[in-house]
Amino acid sequence: MSGDVIGYILRRILHSIPLVIGVSIIGFGIMHLAPGGPLAVYTLNPTITVTDIERLRVALGLDQPIHLQYLSWAKAMLTGSWGVTFFGGRPVLEVILERVPATMTLMGSSLALAIVIGTLIGILGAVKRNSIFDYLATTGAMLALSFPTFWFGLMAIYVFAIQLGWLPSGGMYELGEEGNPWDLLRHLILPVMVLTLVLLATWSRYSRSSFLDVIQQDYIRTARSKGLGERQILFRHALRNAVIPLVALLGVQLPTLFSGALVAETIFSWPGMGRLFVDALNMKEYPILMGMIMFTAFFVIVGNLIADVAIAAIDPRVKLA
Amino acid sequence: MVDISVSDAVPTRSYTQTIARRFLSHRLAVVGAVMVVFLCASALFAQLVSPHDPMRIDTSQRFLPPFVSWGHLLGTDDLGRDTLSRLLYGGQVSLAVGIVAMLTTMVTGTLVGLAAGYYGGIIDNLLMRLVDTLLCFPQVFLLLVIAAFVPPTILSISLIIGLTSWMEVSRIVRAQVSSLKEMDFIQASRGFGASNWRIMLVELLPNIMAPVLVAATLKVATAVLMESYISFLGYGVQPPMASWGNMLTNAQGYFDTVPFLAILPGVLITFTVMSFNFLGDGLRDAIDARLKIDP
């Protein structure tokens, strides 16, 4: 059994390799799409002459055939040297990694909330199908999928920060309060609310249909005819099978989570990766942009890998061979 | 010389009629359709309906409040421009981007899906790995990077949105084509010597139109949303041209004093996205219902 699982994990990792290569080729391609190529920022600097740029081109190997450039770039990515920033000359990977904790705090709390609330809404909607609650939840999800996240964020700032003055309108800590968990919590509420809503809509709809599928199956009827309580049937028997498609959804939703975090971080000046990305965009910091694109894509690949392995672990029907 | 069509007058419903009937009995779908027609009409006739030139600046008329200002039904913005006119012209931009992006998505997704499903083998493998790869990138990140490199026009924004969102469509089309291509009518036309192109475009394409149409409607909704995202972040439609996204960016600066300017564009984006979502969901239900009745 355990040998099977390890074999499955190894095979699944092997299947991810073409994806990693594909992602790196597209990332490399986009970098060369940039007007002026990777040296664009120097062409804008009046103190750097044409001969200087030519010398840089040769020094950086940009005069070589494109496939050789790709190979040396890919080798550098693999060894963790993701280039240096145009402004300040700091290692790109370091700049990105220092933003990870803030983004993970935001994404983690939103995801946890969305999973718990969304699953509960889904279960209730499935059990009390076509009730007023079900109708309201479906309409609410439809509405949440239709309005632009940033607009919802702006409205939340208007109500809770400007009008009521209950919560701060942005940032992670007040000045001088760095590291104070209560201050962090106050700043987290609005961005988490916005990001949770994005995920909640999809999550509650999927968990509703997943539970509907499961509770109509024979083994649930068997459990009911054994005289088990409704709560035990739902949370012990149905939940286990109903979460399997939801774990897959989790993997698929990762890109959406990153996109949502970018928007939430921009509106609430949250010092995470999304904010870094938008700032880099405004300053034409191509090395950071490329680093971020590659980082998020790798994260999505690894996330999906973990989701697949988790499904194989909880679902005995998945064939490992 | 006997006219059989007369004696053969059994009341049968065509496929299209069945779907139309189901669609019309779906209340939200009809609401969505009416809203879409209304939005398209107001965008098409923006030039005729607008009370003012949306770009005309009048600094003596700044921040007029809505509903009470003579000649400016929805008030004016920070430069004294008429809000109603800007919203109407902004709607033109949003819908144009939505529709052109949807067409780009549909053409790319259908071609890739057709080729992958029909040829199979290595072509299928390569194309589907490309799809998997593109789906690893968060769409907003990809959109913004490309939008930052390309000079923003309505056409370029539409193309960028379309070219970063065709992947799901190609998966839908591929799944349909791979199940259809072994059927007798395809084998027959191959037997008659039809070319691959003819089989794909004349025989297969009409048979997969239903799910493609549903996807197309829903894609207009996401494209409108995406346009508002990139315009809001400053990489979409550029001022002074109005778009709902950049009107929101502008309103953000006067947010604490004139919240009304920020509310309206958001309501209209939501309204538009929801209309297309209702329409798309209704179409899907209408088509699926038929599949359940006679599989």
Question: Are A151 and B266 spatial neighbours (Cβ–Cβ below 8 Å)?
Answer: yes
Question: Are B134 and B167 spatial neighbours (Cβ–Cβ below 8 Å)?
Answer: yes
Low-confidence ranges of chain B (pLDDT < 70): 1-12, 69, 72-73, 80, 288-295
**CB-based contact A151 B142, cutoff 8 Å:** no
Contacts of B130 in chain A (CB under 8 A): 22
Tell whether A255 lies on the interface with B, counting CB pairs under 8 A: yes
ipTM surpasses cut 0.85: no
Question: Are A285 and B145 spatial neighbours (Cβ–Cβ below 8 Å)?
Answer: no
pLDDT in tens, A34-79: 766 666 666 666 777 777 777 777 776 677 777 888 888 788 788 8
Contacts of A301 in chain B (CB under 8 A): 136
Contacts of A300 in chain B (CB under 8 A): 136-138
CB nearest B136 (choices: A23, A142, A259): A23
DSSP run (H or E) holding A9: helix A2-33
> Which residues touch B54 (CB under 8 Å, ≥6 apart)?
B81, B82, B85, B86, B88, B89, B90, B242
Nearest C-alpha in A relative to B248: A151
Question: Are A59 and A39 spatial neighbours (Cβ–Cβ below 8 Å)?
Answer: no
**CB-based contact B140 A162, cutoff 8 Å:** no
Alpha-carbon span A142 to A204, nearest angstrom:
11
DSSP run (H or E) holding B37: helix B27-44
Other Cβ atoms closer than 10 A to A78: 10
Instruction: pLDDT tens for chain A, 321 residues: list them.
Output: 566 778 888 888 888 888 889 998 888 888 777 766 666 666 666 777 777 777 777 776 677 777 888 888 788 788 877 877 777 778 888 888 999 998 999 999 999 999 999 999 988 888 888 888 888 888 888 888 888 888 888 888 888 888 887 888 777 777 777 777 788 888 888 999 999 998 898 889 888 888 888 888 888 888 888 878 778 887 777 887 888 888 888 888 888 899 999 999 998 888 989 999 999 888 878 888 888 888 899 899 999 888 888 888 777 776 654
- Whole-prediction pTM: 0.84
Amino acid in the structure at residue A306? I
Tell whether B266 lies on the interface with A, counting CB pairs under 8 A: yes
pLDDT in tens, B109-126: 999 999 999 898 899 999
Q: Which of A103, A143, A150, A279 to mutate to test the interface with B (most CBs of B within 10 A)?
A: A150
Nearest C-alpha in A relative to B228: A148
Tell whether B273 lies on the interface with A, counting CB pairs under 8 A: yes
Tell whether B107 lies on the interface with A, counting CB pairs under 8 A: no
Nearest C-alpha in B relative to A36: B149
